[in-house]
Chain A
Amino acid sequence: MTLTDTRAAKAFTGQAMPRKEDDRLLKAQGEFGDDTPIAHLAYVNFVRSPYAHARITSIDVSAAEQVDGYLGCLLPEEAEALTDGFMELQGPPADVEVDRCLTSLGKVRFVGEAVVAVAGETREAARDAAAAVLVEYEPLTAVADAREAIKHDAPAVHDQIGHNIAWDGTFDYGDIDFALDQADHVIEADELHFHRSSATPLECNAITVQYDAGVETFTIIGGCAQPQVTTLMVAAALRHSAERIRIVSKDFGGSFGVKIGMYVQATALALLSRKLGRPMRWTETRTEHHLTGGHCNERWFRNVKMAVQSDGTVLGLSYDALDDIGAYTRYEPLGAVIWSHVTNACYQLSHLKVRFRTVYTNKGPVLPVRGYSRVQHLWLVERMMDIAAHELGFDPVEFRMHNYIKPEQYPYTTVNGCVYDSGNLPLSLSKALDLIDYQQARQLQAEVRGTGKRIGIGIGSTLDSGTNNFGQARIIYEHLPFGGNTEGGLVRMGADGTIFAVTGGVAFGQGHETTVAQVVSDMLGVGYDDVVVHRGADSSLSAQTGFSGSYASQFAVTGIGAIINATRKLAREIRLVAASVLGAEPDDIMLEGGFANNPPERVLRVVNGQDRSKVRVTR
């Protein structure tokens, strides 16, 4: 694949346009998850586990029933009776994990796990009633460290699985044993740790569910990063038709991956809204978000070995990974394969071997936080590059430059057969070094040595994959009923000539309305303001497909790709209509300046805008 520069001569694409989103956001006229006004709204508060691992011996809601404004609650036994467990991606034996909207099988498995959902007339009533629910626990030994969790005598997070390994597999590319055996140097690290973190979008989850009994439809309102998968998750759990679930996301205050996981709470709200006959809203607190909001994958790298030649050439790498994913797999164990988009990181490795184990612990479940799973592997490779450079006496910049994939090597095939299509890593690093004046920084570092002041200089290089291929999920479990990737785009012309566009994805700050308008207006030869782009996603309105959503850096590839294809179809229709009106051939019609032109002199106005006096047909 070769890249062509398509930036030339576009009126809007590639230009710094004023964002379509900005005015409403600056004027506080956006509509975020908690903003949507709903009549007769009730509020939900969750009773959460204070224990990392405990058996539930009793639940008593009688005191809650006395709270003024209490409406009702959802208990684990009800959730067990009314829902099926969420779909699991792992195969046997860990596929017997049971994950529901409330804890199930009589245990809690992490601090903050939802035990009871309580509904009240007001936020305060829901909170008071939840506080009055009495749950008795019998604490069990918790396991909070993946290295302990894999031991035979470790307490099992899911009793029915019997151990804490959700997935175990080995990726073996090239011949690492030979490389380690033959290399001039083997650089080793016993253990490196990529710690847990939280994505913390500034807007926590805010979900409202309305049940319309007349048409048996649940409407889920609030930030949802993966609408169609969420629909399927909720539908299967509720044993309800996916076509009778509608998801509406308007503005949302960040996701960074974690708003993929909102189907869990949405399911609890759906049950309550149907049972109590009122729309239910849950506005997550920051504390809840930190406890349960979907952490990033915490990974232990053990027994790390890197084969390096005396001239600084890195031959390959091997390690054992323990991925601590907390108490439930949810999006996992996809992380066990997603890192392999970028096996080579930035370097010309020829050999790579990774044993990967996905491990349950009694901690909050992880979700695909931005840079999902790749960032952990990329970090490990960069750490090893530094350790190796240090041990062998190479400058960390020179060492990287020597091993980088070179511009002339693209398309570059990685050890596992992935293709990096383009790039210029040495130039990128040089530019970054220039920006901090690297030579001077090193000089400064040397000058202050011994004065008690120390200056640290760190080098990190990275690359990432854009969009996704769920085909990889079958490395996890070959019988998974999905693969590949899809996205939808809908572009149409309204009766007054306004162009309307909507993608299947959502935006949480990326400015998709702006980008879509830039591309569509250029392709149709109309003005930027002639294109109305729908905000967010509405599964009953947008052109959604099974994998629609905003995750895995999808938009620039699949999102815009779908919009381009849809716009082509519309352009074709405009040409057909214009050709018949003007008595020309469709292929001779040019779309520019808001007109369909058949040079030299015949024009048909395409976009009316507000000014109808300009509508004209010249034959």
Chain B
Amino acid sequence: MTSDPNPITVIVDGREERGVVSARKLLVHWLRDTLDERGPKIGCDTGNCGACTVRCDGHLVKSCMVLAVQADSTEVETAAGLAAEDGTLNHLQSCFKRYHALQCGYCTSGMLMTATDFLESGEEVTDQSTRRALKGNICRCTGYENIVRAVRAAAGQDVPLPHGAVPTREGDDL
């Protein structure tokens, strides 16, 4: 039923995906509606909230601002690809869990992708640089403080645990 069929091939979290999309189809809609990829979320569809953040050929992008055809022949990484194959959380995800950096979890995938990119960028990790790195991602629940702490903890910094948390206990992945 697509009047302008465009075949695309995209590596999504390491899997090759082929599809036929209309030229106007947004990458976020293709990932979500066609592939059932739940990493990118839609919070604004205007490039403001960062919930749809993924990496495309190593570049951090808001997938509501990218057409699916633009992603042809690229490699897309979503938050669904962060954990180990057996489901174990990666270090950043574990820090998010430990520092209570999520509540509803709707911003979380985007936050994780932005933070992943930031931590891999080699930029010096400080409270300020972390906040600047996350400025394109909105969270309506947490008030950001614990997200910033989680990212800094993931960078190996000594960050105070959330109120009431005990240093180690069963169930923590750290």
Contacts and interface: CB of A to CB of B under 8 A. Distances in A.
Interface of A: 15-19, 21-23, 25-32, 34-35, 37, 68-69, 121-124, 200-204, 251-254, 256, 283, 285-287, 508-511, 528
B3 A26 contact: no
A26 B93 contact: yes
A122 B2 CA distance: 10
A511 B103 CA distance: 7
Contacts of B108: 25-26
Contacts of B49: 202, 286
Contacts of B78: 28
Contacts of A37: 36
A15 B171 CA distance: 13
Given A201-B106, A511-B103, 15 more contacts: A18-B171, A27-B82, A30-B38, A35-B32, A123-B33, A202-B51, A202-B140, A253-B43, A253-B105, A256-B140, A285-B45, A286-B46, A286-B48, A508-B104, A510-B103
A124 B22 contact: yes
B80 interface: yes
Nearest to A203: B106
B39 A32 contact: no
A124 B25 CA distance: 8
Interface string B97-117: 110101111111100100000
Contacts of B42: 34, 204, 283
12 contacts: A16-B162, A18-B98, A18-B169, A22-B96, A22-B97, A23-B89, A202-B43, A202-B104, A203-B106, A204-B43, A253-B106, A528-B171
B89 A27 contact: yes
User: What is the predominant secondary structure among interface residues of chain A facing chain B?
Assistant: loop
Nearest to A285: B45
A468 to B, nearest CB: 22
A35 B28 CA distance: 12
A534 B171 CA distance: 20
A251 B104 contact: yes
Given A26-B96, A26-B102, A508-B104, A124 B3 contact: no
A528 B87 CA distance: 20
A510 B46 CA distance: 28
Given A35-B38, A286-B43, A286-B44, A203 B104 contact: yes
A203 B43 contact: yes
Given A22-B102, A26-B108, A203 B165 contact: no
**Leading 10 A-B pairs by shortest Cβ distance:** A253-B106, A25-B105, A509-B104, A509-B103, A28-B80, A28-B39, A16-B164, A286-B44, A18-B171, A16-B165
Nearest to A206: B42
Interface size class of chain B, counting residues whose CB lies under 8 Å from the partner chain: 35 or more
Contacts of B172: 18
Given A200-B140, A202-B51, A32 B41 contact: yes
Nearest to A255: B104
A70 to B, nearest CB: 11
Given A16-B164, A16-B166, A35-B38, A202 B97 contact: no
Contacts of B98: 18
Contacts of B153: none
Interface in B40-82: 41-46, 48-49, 51, 78-80, 82
B63 to A, nearest CB: 13
A34 B45 CA distance: 13
B138 interface: yes
B106 A34 contact: no
B159 interface: no
B139 interface: yes
B149 interface: no
Contacts of A21: 105
B29 A123 contact: yes
A85 B142 CA distance: 38
A28 B38 contact: yes
A121 B97 contact: no
A27 B80 contact: yes
Contacts of A508: 104
Give the one of A18, A26, A201, A528 with max B CB within 10 A.
A26
A251 B3 contact: no
B132 interface: no
A509 B1 contact: no
Contact of A17 (B32, B107, B171): B171
Given A28-B78, A251-B105, A18 B97 contact: yes
B108 to A, nearest CB: 6
Contacts of B37: 28
A283 B32 CA distance: 13
Nearest to A18: B171
B15 interface: no
